[in-house]
Amino acid sequence: MPRSSRSLVLVVTGALLAGATPVLAVERPSADDSVQNLMEARASALATGRIKARIAEADAELIRLGAEAQWAMERHNGERVLLARARTAAKDARARARRADTAYRAARKEYSGYAAGAYTSSAASAGRLAMVISGTGGARGMLERAGMLQMVSAQQDGLRRRVKAARKVSHLLRAAARKADALQSEAVALVARTRRDAIAAIGAQEAAAVRVGAVRKHLVRRLDHVRSRAERLAERRTAALRVRTARRLDRDAVRHFEEEDGLSARGAGRGRTVVREALKWIGTPYSWGGGTAKGPSKGIAHGAKIRGFDCSGLALYAWAKAGIGLDHWTGSQWAAGPRVPTSMLRPGDLVFFAKNTKDPDTIHHVGIFIGDGRMVEAPYTGAKVRISSMWRNGFIGAVRPG
């Protein structure tokens, strides 16, 4: 029998012989047990760390694909805006070319009919001109004849120059119209291509959400298995606290805004109108291409059957209620006003997010600042208009339209 076991037996036996209630001695763990426990704890921590790293990788992949899909959708939105402009420009160019052709034909008609008109403009002037040209009237007639011929020649030269200028203008404007039509055709092709790209990006995002989501669930189950019960309970309490805190911040942000807005009959300017209008639509579905100056609308492709907003559609709507017209495109919304430092943000300012924070051409998302580092946004396909933190990866800057 090991020494520790013999000691324990002696203690219990002695207590029984003395008629006392036996008290079991607590056996100290051996050095080998301590080392074993430490190794198991380290192994558990290492396994936990690896699983958490893989979960973080899965989350990062979903975020990356979401940004790719948003960027593709906003690029398509931009090409639609540019196509509308190209169509307007082509229509205007064709109208100008038609007016120039009409002016050219009128000038030619006037020039070709000038000589006949000069001789038949009236009976008196016709007789006088015939007399001058026929050579009668002596010296005086000669002078009149020279003057009359000079006048006719000058008028003909003037008409000839007008015809030449009208022809040149007509040719130039017809060329401009052809160029505008070509640009419109290019815009149509780009819209079709970016639409296909966006649909493919959304499809990749949705497929990844299913694939990566399944992997993530498996990893979360493994993580629960390797963590201790205390760790699991602590994590759940932390997650629940995080949710309650986010909800409280949302309520506080809305209440604070409403209280501040009620201090003045006119509010504090256009920005408060923008925020008030945006907050009306919390919980509205995300719809790619959805949102007009009048409110939520059905979108395009994946949003064709969903009445709602996408990110730039929500910004367009809210600022329209404040009297400012914006395009349905984050690219032109980024250029719709001056840049605003984060220290000077006011409710209603637009906050933008990009794949590359040094390149505005990669902007893919916009939200509406409401105060306290929070914003209203239409986040992504499958989600709803919500309040969230503006402090996230990809923040590139803010703009105050107007």
Annotated active-site positions, please? Answer: 311, 365, 377
DSSP state of 20: P
CA angle 299, 301, 306 (to 5 degrees): 40
* Distance in angstroms (rounded) separating the CA atoms of residues 368 and 375: 5
Q: Identify the CA nearest to 321 among candidates 302, 295, 343, 355.
A: 295
Q: Distance (Å, rounded) from C-alpha 199 to C-alpha 204? A: 9
Tally Cβ neighbours within 10 Å of residue 205: 21
For the chain, counts of helices (H) and of strands (E): 9, 7
Residue with token string 């760390």: 49
- Among left, alpha and beta (phi > 0; psi -120 to 50; other), residue 347 is beta
Q: Is 353 helix (H, G, I), strand (E, B) or coil?
A: strand
CB distance 198 to 75 below 8 Å: yes
Question: How deeply is 260 buried, as exposed, middle or buried, from its count of CB atoms within 10 A (0-12, 13-18, 19+)?
Answer: middle
State both tokens at 387.
């309040």
Do residues 286 and 378 touch, judged by C-beta distance below 8 A?
A: yes
SS3 assignment for 272-323: HHHHHHHHCCCCCEECCCCCECCECEECCHHHCCCEEECHHHHHHHHHHCCC
Q: Would strands 350-354 and 307-308 be described as parallel, antiparallel, or unpaired?
A: unpaired
Q: Work out the burial of residue 173: count CB atoms within 10 Å of its CB; fewer than 13 is exposed, 13-18 middle, 19 or more buried.
A: buried
CB-count burial class (<10 Å; 0-12, 13-18, 19+) for 44: middle
